[in-house]
Structure 1
């Protein structure tokens, strides 16, 4: 198997095996964005926020 960025590789002769890391990364990023924007878990927490620096 040749590296993805092999300069000697033909420009249009690549297979899915050459791009599997890119494809899987795109799936993970898209799934994470869909989860983040559809569930809103980060906005419903009851933990204290904004109290790291005491008020003067």
Structure 2
């Protein structure tokens, strides 16, 4: 995906942010709205885009 081309640090941040978003959703009882626009790269869709409710 797009993050792999930016380096290992960016790849690690993607996992941390995804984990934090899920914890925030479950512990705060809130929902997340993902707005996907064109063009959305596969890496963004796989990590952040599909986490929404």
TM range (shorter): 0.3 to 0.5
Structure with greater helix percent:
2
| Larger RCO (CA within 8 A; separation ≥ 6) | 2
* TM-score, L = length of structure 2: 0.42
Between structure 1 and structure 2, the one with the greater Rg is 1
* TM-score, L = length of structure 1: 0.40
